[in-house]
Structure 1
């Protein structure tokens, strides 16, 4: 079994959680390698629905679940999530947390709210969970790591270096800020509660690799929210691409074998920013309603639009996808005519790649290829052969346009509603 990276190919919310949960059964470890509790993965198991924000979806299969060094962690949120799992009788002893992971501090959330407020009408639409400022502190070498909060003396020394300037700025801007004593006491308690899960996870993963135990790497968000390769500045604060799996977990890039891109059968995004194929009509409303398109973490309504293969080809170029997992295909049932964006028109030019200039992006006109839809309910289809002809044609068109095989097809939220194409 080869090591596999699962990542979102669009703006996130593609259904990665369900896929990771399904695939986890065949792997010995599942690793979350970037992002924070701004990402949510929804898992449906029988009559129960679980919404994870930090813990990898492999927890339901009792696999070794790792929060890598590339993740930013709000310990309060982590402990709340662990409590929910414990109450549901789901074992959490296999969780491991990188001692190098950065910690979201109270002042990070305060500062993010200040920044977003000052942007006014140009706000990015962040989740206000302190993710961005935590990554900023990491890069500026002003961060607090998990190993710091597990040692109260070390934590205080760290805060005495980084906190005074932050406190001055926040107070000067008219906001309240907790004291260094309050922060130190609160976060040292968190450190005590998670201490047994904390280790050098890079060494742990090296042991798995040496023993030829397969590893599944779980991405958060989507490629077009990548800090480098997304639509800047309407992006998240981390690299969401496949290469980040190496950096965010401490394994060599040569150990990443399969790159599975999760593609929603249409396109959605949450928050502000360009969205060329957005539908602000009854079809867009239909997709949102039938697809239950509301953010797992924030509950915000997702914007909906037609599938955009210009985006997907960009994702393939940056990540080298080896296969596609197509999700929410059942949501398209009953639509007479389906459209797929194959290129863009800008003024008198035809563009086959996604441009970088916001001025250009705002004026893009999607060029569509139209395909007939299907009326059949596909929720109970078990094999590719069971799907309606027009549904198969839609899948094959995606493969043709993107140049990647669709090997997994989700036709509903349940584990059983998944087709593995032979």
Structure 2
């Protein structure tokens, strides 16, 4: 099997975890390249649900190497908890999990700053999960971050920690209700985390490149989605890392020549969680129907997702900035029973018809969607269908419109939660 990047094409929550889990069967290595434990990948196997936050979805397969790359920010307690929960459910996690020495650590200072800054923004809040992701990436970019490897150099770690805590407490002084943090308590806590994580820490850039050189196949797993990318998303309502395909190279330390395919994952409709513009959002009964039928609640936070029709302006943008070679459509079954299905083919801004996704926030916030209406497949079902030939004709027509509009093939269709509810082209 080829080396493939799996990337979200919308605002995240597209079902990447299931697709990675399915493709892992023919891969040797699964590597996560960005984000933190603010992401959640849900995989259902025989009715059992697994929600993964940091560990790649490939861990649910035996004898597959899973890598958490340098581009991921790691809350060590969250990672330890996830490892222990998987072990308690009979999932083998030991030599098959490697964590980059260069991955930056989320500290209690980051969480306090995240929560305090978001609260201060009031009505202008971004919708962060409050888990310290943004402040951790801020320290990384300002060259004051603490990395996984620092846990194994206690004096160096202590020196960095004291400087960071002092800086954080200075900033937290702006928020009178926020408790100041103590360096000694954090030091002792993180030293214990280091002891537990030591068996997993590795030079993952060397490991993954040696695997590729030896002919092994790698799945590159991203979190969030294209419209949450810090450079190519709906800034400032984005995450703090590069969720697009380019992040796979910097987030794992591999060259672009290693990549054979880039598969974009899209729901058969659109969702987003948190604040920010969402042109095709449905505010009424149709949006509620999609949310309840699709169980559109965040895997990590439980927050209700905003729902809307499929947006071709968004998807064209995702095809372009990721260099997609194929598309994966998930949750097709959620559209079962709908008499008519709309697709957004452009945006109306004042007297202009926009076909390309606008970068200017005032324009994006002032856009209204331009829809085309397609026939649904009322009286037929796609749920659990595992052969393309057995899909209702109107569902096939819907897939054809998507593929032809975007100019790329549809490689996979997911028709349900379970691992086996899937169609390969």
Same fold (TM over 0.5): yes
1:417 to 404, 413, 421: 421
* Match in the other structure for 2:131: 129
**Which shows bigger deviation, 251-260 or 126-135?**
251-260
Q: Distance in 2 between matches of 1:348 and 1:119?
A: 33
Q: CA offset at residue 294 of structure 1?
A: 0.1
Query: Are residue 239 (structure 1) and residue 278 (structure 2) matched?
Result: no
Please give the per-residue CA displacement for 1:274-302, whole angstroms capped at 9, x wherever unaligned: 00000011111110001000000000000
* Match in the other structure for 1:165: 167
Q: TM-score, normalised by structure 1?
A: 0.98
Q: Distance in 1 between matches of 2:193 and 2:216?
A: 32
2:411 to 407, 413, 416: 407
* Match in the other structure for 2:308: 305
Please give the per-residue CA displacement for 1:146-204, whole angstroms capped at 9, x wherever unaligned: 00123322210221333222222213532212211001000111011000100110000
* Match in the other structure for 2:229: 226
Please give the per-residue CA displacement for 1:344-392, whole angstroms capped at 9, x wherever unaligned: 1111111110111111111111111110001212113221110111100
Query: Are residue 378 (structure 1) and residue 382 (structure 2) matched?
Result: yes
* Match in the other structure for 2:202: 199
Q: Distance in 2 between matches of 1:294 and 1:207?
A: 39
Q: Distance in 2 between matches of 1:172 and 1:8?
A: 37
**Which shows bigger deviation, 17-26 or 159-168?**
159-168
Q: CA offset at residue 207 of structure 1?
A: 1.0
Q: Distance in 2 between matches of 1:339 and 1:416?
A: 28
* Match in the other structure for 1:65: 66
Unaligned runs of 5+ in 1: none
2:321 to 318, 321, 328: 318
* Match in the other structure for 1:16: 16
Q: CA offset at residue 209 of structure 1?
A: 1.3
Please give the per-residue CA displacement for 1:292-328, whole angstroms capped at 9, x wherever unaligned: 0000000000000000011000001101101111000
Question: How many residues matched?
Answer: 421
Q: Distance in 2 between matches of 1:160 and 1:280?
A: 48
Q: CA offset at residue 416 of structure 1?
A: 1.1
Q: Distance in 2 between matches of 1:162 and 1:359?
A: 36
1:279 to 266, 278, 282: 282
- After superposition, residues 289-304 of structure 1 pair within 5 angstroms as 289-304=292-307
SS of equivalent residue, structure 2 residue 287:
helix
- After superposition, residues 108-119 of structure 1 pair within 5 angstroms as 108-119=110-121
* Match in the other structure for 1:89: 90
Q: Distance in 1 between matches of 2:198 and 2:158?
A: 17
Q: CA offset at residue 47 of structure 1?
A: 2.2
- C-alpha contact 1:155 1:188 (8 A) present in aligned 2: no
- C-alpha contact 1:107 1:177 (8 A) present in aligned 2: no
**Which shows bigger deviation, 10-19 or 370-379?**
370-379
- C-alpha contact 2:165 2:181 (8 A) present in aligned 1: no
Please give the per-residue CA displacement for 1:53-82, whole angstroms capped at 9, x wherever unaligned: 000000011310000000000000001101
* Root-mean-square deviation (Å): 0.9
